[in-house]
Each structure stands twice: as C-alpha cells, then as structure tokens.
C-alpha cells in the first residue's frame, strides 16, 4: 500500500497483543494531556501493548500510569555520545517489532526515531516535516473533530480517532503517584514543618517565559494571605535551575519560606497530590495538579487558556486571564507592548478572589 493511504480502520484491525509506539518527547503539559488518549486506547483495547517514548526528565509522569505498558527514552548527551545514544535507542525500539508508530511530536529527533523504528505502519500529522517517512498523514485535528478550535488534549486524541479508535467523550487527564514517591513525601513534608494530617497549599511562581510569570511580590502576598487568613501552610515550589524565583519571593515576603526545589517529577506528584489548593502560572505543574484531582487556580497571560488550560479537571479550578487582542502569542517576548501587559494586568485581588472561591465554594464551578 502506498504511503499516506493507510486505512483509518487500522487500529481495529491490529492483531491481539499488537505493540504500539507513541512518541511524545516533551514537555510536562503535552505529556499530561496525552493521558486522556491513552485512557481511551487501553479502555477500548486493553490487549494492545502501548509503549510511550519520552525524554528522560519526564518519564516519571507515566511510571505509575496503568495505561502505559512501557516507557522508552530517546537517549541524551551531546556530540558523539548523543549519536551513540540515539543509535542505541533505535536498536531497542526495533527489537520490539512495533506494529504501529504514532509520532505526536514532529521534531527532528522524533522523525529520526520514527523513520528507523522498524514499525510496520508509521503515522504523523500532515503538518510535520519529513512527510515521506509516514504511511499515514493525520489531518488537522479541527477537521477530524469538526470544531473551529480545539484543546491540546483533543488534538492528541484526534490522531487515534483518525486511525480507528471509536469516538467518545475524551476523559479528564490522569496521573498517579507511586508508593515510593508517597513515602518520600511523607518524610519531606515533615522536614518542611507540615505534619501528616495538616492541609497545605502549593504555590508555583515559575514558568518558561517571563511573560508568563506573575510577580514574585504577588505570590508572596498571596502566600501570606493564605497562611494568615486561611490557616494554610504554604509550600513554594520550583523546578531545577529555578531557585532564583523563590529567592525573589522570599525577599518580597521578608521572611523564610518553605521551599520544595527541583524535586524529581515523581516526588513532585506526591507533593501536589496532597495539596488543599494549587496556585501557579501557566506551566506544567498546573496540569499535573489538575490531573491529580486537586483544586487550583492558574494564571494565564500570553497563551490561549482555551487550548492550554487544565483539561476537564475533576476538582474546582479557576483560570485568571485578562483579554488582549494579541493573545495568543509565542510568549518568548511581548510582541505588542513595551512590557508584557497581559501578565502585568493580573491583579492580586483577581487571584485572591479566585482562590477564595475554590476554598470556600462561594460560586459555581464553570467546569
């Protein structure tokens, strides 16, 4: 059969126990928002052996996921070491004899791994480069779902709908905490002065770009308010290399703050899973908290909250975002104003009110 003419009935016709490789290298949000599609796939055909290939820092997001049979990595490093790691990854992939490889990433690394995967069938979205490596080009997800705008979770699920997964409502994102991570957190929270049985809040003041970072003094003020008025101990969190953001919060607070700095993602899941409420910028941890069923508030600025907001959270959530006609934008800088007005316009009162609604249930949940 010529390439690009793969029948959309492929998934139903795969033999029992067939192996599928899904490439979704990064980042946190993308991987979390893949979990609804994984749930649909395994719920429909639990016999399929599903392997997901992600970069090493993100594998712990899926380690306790019952819908994933195996987690593979592309190999890392630099120079010749990186090339050797890529070749080793290809060898490992080819040993699995995958029936189908679905590339959801589209970058050069995922294209390379797809090309040499040895899979009987290869599929990727039609806007990807190196179109010739695919047997099937998946059309624009908006056309598949017949919607003018789609969420990222819908985008990823649409690939499998196109390949024959029966269409149904896309479930919420879901993550799980390993027993080892839960044990780690029991010990860690005690060292932070938050004993078992005491509720706490997690505040995450970092994000990829400065255009997405609510001011440190606002996070400090919110933490002070929640601790003083609501009686919630505050745990401020950040990823590797982001401790400077917590330094700024502490400076604004004028006192020592509780810090959870650069934890492994599996351990971070355990910390988020016990939070009474999460508050953070538009970033991966917001998706993690929502997928764990925790209540939260996420502050949006340059990105589209319709595309990147938490997907069908199972607990109350609020999105705080002020409208700008230049939204969305790439976010690496402000393309319209001298300053990123979209994030600077979000006031303390807006976020405080949203958190109060979550904690007190004073208004209906829009989700």
As for how many domains the chain has, the answer is 2
Whether residues 158 and 183 fall in one domain:
no
pLDDT at residue 146 greater than cutoff 90: yes
| Token duo for residue 284 | 């991966």
What are the tens digits of pLDDT across the range 86-109?
999 999 999 999 999 999 998 999
Whether residues 257 and 117 fall in one domain:
no
Question: 343 and 299 in contact (C-beta within 8 Å)?
Answer: yes
| Token duo for residue 240 | 């590797």
Is the residue at 15 inside a domain? Answer: yes
pLDDT at residue 367 greater than cutoff 50: no
pLDDT (0 to 100) of residue 254: 96
Find, among 14, 168, 42, the residue nearest to 101 by Cα.
Answer: 14
Is the residue at 366 inside a domain? Answer: no
Whether residues 191 and 141 fall in one domain:
no
Question: 211 and 299 in contact (C-beta within 8 Å)?
Answer: no
- The domain in which residue 273 lies consists of 179-360
Question: 310 and 321 in contact (C-beta within 8 Å)?
Answer: no
The DSSP result for 290-314, as a single string, is HHTT--EEEE-SSS-HHHHS-SS-S
List the beta bridge partners of residue 122: 101
pLDDT (0 to 100) of residue 1: 43
Q: Of the candidates 131, 162, 193, which is a domain's last residue?
A: 162
Whether residues 95 and 216 fall in one domain:
no
Whether residues 82 and 141 fall in one domain:
yes
Whether residues 355 and 235 fall in one domain:
yes
Residue 7 CA neighbour count, 13 Å, CB half: 7
What are the tens digits of pLDDT across the range 200-215?
999 999 999 999 999 9
Find, among 138, 105, 103, 100, the residue nearest to 118 by Cα.
Answer: 100
Tally Cβ neighbours within 10 Å of residue 260.
Answer: 20
DSSP state of 38: H
Is the residue at 220 inside a domain? Answer: yes
Q: Of the candidates 132, 162, 192, which is a domain's last residue?
A: 162
Whether residues 157 and 260 fall in one domain:
no
Whether residues 236 and 303 fall in one domain:
yes
């Amino acid at each position: 059969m010529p390439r690009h003419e793969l029948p959309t009935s492929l998934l139903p016709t795969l033999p029992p126990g067939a192996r599928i490789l899904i490439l979704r290298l990064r980042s946190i949000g993308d991987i979390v928002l893949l979990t609804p599609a994984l749930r649909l796939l395994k719920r429909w055909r639990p016999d399929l052996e599903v392997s997901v290939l992600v970069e090493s820092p993100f594998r712990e997001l899926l380690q306790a996921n019952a819908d994933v049979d195996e987690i593979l990595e592309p190999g890392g490093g630099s120079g010749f070491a990186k090339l050797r790691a890529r070749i080793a990854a290809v060898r490992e992939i080819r040993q699995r004899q995958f029936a189908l490889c679905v590339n959801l990433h589209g970058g050069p690394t995922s294209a390379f791994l797809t090309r040499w995967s040895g899979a009987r069938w290869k599929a990727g979205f039609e806007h990807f480069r190196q179109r010739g490596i695919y047997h099937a080009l998946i059309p624009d997800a908006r056309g598949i779902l017949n919607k003018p705008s789609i969420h990222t979770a819908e985008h990823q699920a649409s690939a499998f709908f196109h390949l024959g997964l029966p269409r149904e409502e896309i479930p919420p994102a879901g993550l799980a905490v390993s027993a080892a991570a839960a044990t780690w957190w029991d010990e860690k929270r005690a060292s932070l002065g938050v004993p078992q049985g005491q509720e706490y809040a997690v505040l995450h003041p970092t994000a990829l770009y400065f255009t997405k970072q609510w001011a440190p003094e606002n996070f400090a003020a919110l933490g002070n308010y929640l601790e003083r008025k609501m009686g919630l101990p505050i745990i401020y969190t950040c990823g590797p290399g982001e401790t400077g953001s917590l330094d700024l919060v502490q400076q604004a607070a004028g006192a020592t703050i509780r810090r959870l700095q650069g934890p492994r993602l599996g351990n971070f899941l355990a910390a988020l899973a016990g939070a009474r409420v999460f508050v953070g910028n538009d970033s991966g941890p917001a998706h993690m908290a929502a997928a764990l069923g925790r209540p939260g508030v996420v502050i949006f600025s340059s990105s589209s909250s319709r595309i990147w907001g938490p997907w069908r959270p199972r607990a109350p959530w609020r999105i705080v975002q002020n409208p700008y006609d230049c939204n969305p934008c790439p976010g690496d800088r402000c393309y319209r104003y001298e300053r990123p007005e979209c994030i600077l316009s979000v006031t303390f009162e807006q976020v405080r009110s949203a958190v109060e609604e979550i904690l007190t249930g004073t208004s209906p949940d829009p989700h």
